[in-house]
Amino acid sequence: MKRQTALCFSIAMAASLALSACGSDQEPSGVGTEPAKPTGEAGEGGNAPVAFPLQEQVTLKAVAPRPSLAPSDFNAQPLIQQLETKTNVRIQWDTIVETDYLEKRNLLLASGSLPDFFFSGRFSDSELVRYSKEGTIIPLEGLIEAHMPNLKAILDARPDIKAQITAPDGHIYSLPQGEEFGSGKEEIGANPDFLYINKAWLDKLGLQVPKTIDEYTEALRAFKTQDPNGNGKADEIPLTYIDNFWTGDIGVLFGAFGVPDKTYRPNNPTYIDHLNVVDGKVQFAPQQEGYKKAAVYLHQWFAEGLVDLDAFTHDYDTYFARGKTEDETIGSLIWWDKNDVVGPERGEHWVLVPPFEGMVVKWNNGGGFGRDGVTITKNNEHPEVTAAWLDSFYEPKTAAQARFGPIGVWYDQDANGKLVPRTVENPGEFRQSSAVTNGIGLLLYEHLDIVDYVEPRAAQRIKDSADIYVPQMEDERFPNVFFLDEELQTIERLKPDISAYVNKTRAKWLLEGGVEQEWEHFQATLKKMGIDELLAVHQAGYDRYLEAQK
Ligand SMILES: [Ca+2]
């Protein structure tokens, strides 16, 4: 059960990484017509605060995706009923089962029969730009400023979130949503590639946890040659990993040569494969000298048979089976959590290998937040009331109940008023029926003393990362940039081929060597394939992100 939750979480992380990284489309700023701007002008009196409960009830029409297990009318949800009592705002719900949501939402958008707002809009970046340019959805920053004190406080305190939700034209068209697992460098996905080693084998062979890449190499060699599992067979696999996967890739060890190399599979053209940020400049790892040194060094491991050759073909199943052979055969591995691979029992004698001396630890963009929450449409005659009603979901306890389930069902309230989750059998399934939506509200790590929403295993991983990796982590990272349409077109045109070429070449160099002979040809090929243009686009997006934080 516990393992399953954990694995679900890993997959959820993968999904959230993919989500946060995908679908970034944009249009040049200042082009075309200005979007309609009811912000602070139409409706109930502009910037004057909305006083709840309203003297006269207002009814708003909302379209929302719903999990198949959820009630079709969200007014059956206790949280929504409480909000109606508190605000005297009545919501008329049109909910669409999740699997049909995008298709039906698009039909509504095309037909012009718009609700007042899309509760969890799930607009991609390019859709946000398209529908804002058409005036179908309205800019929200004025409403946030005047009518959303909870969200405003969050954005004031967290320029990174503000930058992430700000479109290239400077407006905000969609509300942020998500759960934060750790913050900044301590975010749970900041380093998805933990290096683990079999401490029982080290002890048996009289070795210490390695402090340098050379000591680590010696440990791998000892695993290979000294029969640490004691069965008289040379069946040990000193290192296993999953090549080019979102977690568990060997590129993390390139950091020992100064240039961490982060890759991503399943393939996603907008993920920031192989990019690092150094002194404000976006760099492509395979163009750096450290990358070459890493490829030379690590090839030696493959040449000596120290690495699992199935690394290039593993999927979850074969990888997780690798650690559970009858005789233990794995000496070291790279993954999100060792217990996925070796199981909790063997996991007891596995430990994290702290970053080697002088190793560069990459600060990855771990995802967490989406900019695909609520959008408000031009048809809305009460944008101020709508914004004020929506602001409730940026209060942590309301966010938690919306995203997971109500007090008394999902949560208990302890003596200090903190929300503590109840133990439930199938949390994933149960959440579908108890939550209103996971498409609204923010749960920030600083809210943990108000709402406990982080399962113990995730909390442990965050702590491990903070204790072991963060002290050596880079200070810059490539964030979840809101790209322009034209930039995204460049990325989609150039990146798939470049990534495929780089990944194929890296695999070849690891397996067969040859990096030193082929380096110059490789660099020239990258140039021909348009690496400079690809980097320029990422640099522009990165610069704009920094600007939006101000
Ligand atoms: Ca053996």
Q: Which domains does the chain have, with CATH numbers?
A: 2-24+52-185+369-459 (3.40.190.10), 194-362+483-548 (3.40.190.10)
201 Cα: distance to centroid of ligand 1 (angstroms)? 11
In this prediction, residues 151-155 reach a mean pLDDT of 97
236 Cα: distance to centroid of ligand 1 (angstroms)? 5
Task: Give CA separation, 487 vs 282, 481, 483, in Å.
Answer: 15, 11, 6
Choice among 8-17, 446-455, 513-522, 539-548 with the minimum mean pLDDT: 8-17
23 Cα: distance to centroid of ligand 1 (angstroms)? 48
CA atoms within 13 A on the CB side of 296: 11
Q: What percent of the chain has pLDDT over 90?
A: 75
Cα angle 93-98-104, degrees, rounded to a multiple of 5: 70
pTM tops 0.85: no
327 Cα: distance to centroid of ligand 1 (angstroms)? 8
What digits encode the pLDDT tens for the residues 41-84? 444 457 888 999 999 999 999 999 998 888 899 999 999 999 99
Tokens 């920053």 — which residue? 141
151-176: b or e for each residue (b if 16 or more CB lie within 10 Å)?
Answer: bbebbeebebbbbbbbbbbebbbbbb
328 Cα: distance to centroid of ligand 1 (angstroms)? 8
In this prediction, residues 484-503 reach a mean pLDDT of 91
Burial class (CB in 10 A: 0-12, 13-18, 19+), 444: buried
Q: 265: pLDDT confidence band, cut at 50, 70 and 90?
A: low
Beta bridge partners of residue 278, listed in sequence order: 281
In this prediction, residues 217-229 reach a mean pLDDT of 98
503 Cβ contact list (under 8 Å, min separation 6): 244, 263
Give the largest Cα separation in the chain, rounded.
Answer: 83
- Mean pLDDT of all residues belonging to the chain: 89
The beta-strand segments (E) located in 67-126 are: 89-97, 117-118
Cα angle 155-159-164, degrees, rounded to a multiple of 5: 90
235 Cα: distance to centroid of ligand 1 (angstroms)? 5
232 Cα: distance to centroid of ligand 1 (angstroms)? 5
133 Cα: distance to centroid of ligand 1 (angstroms)? 65
229 Cα: distance to centroid of ligand 1 (angstroms)? 5
331 Cα: distance to centroid of ligand 1 (angstroms)? 11
In this prediction, residues 292-303 reach a mean pLDDT of 98
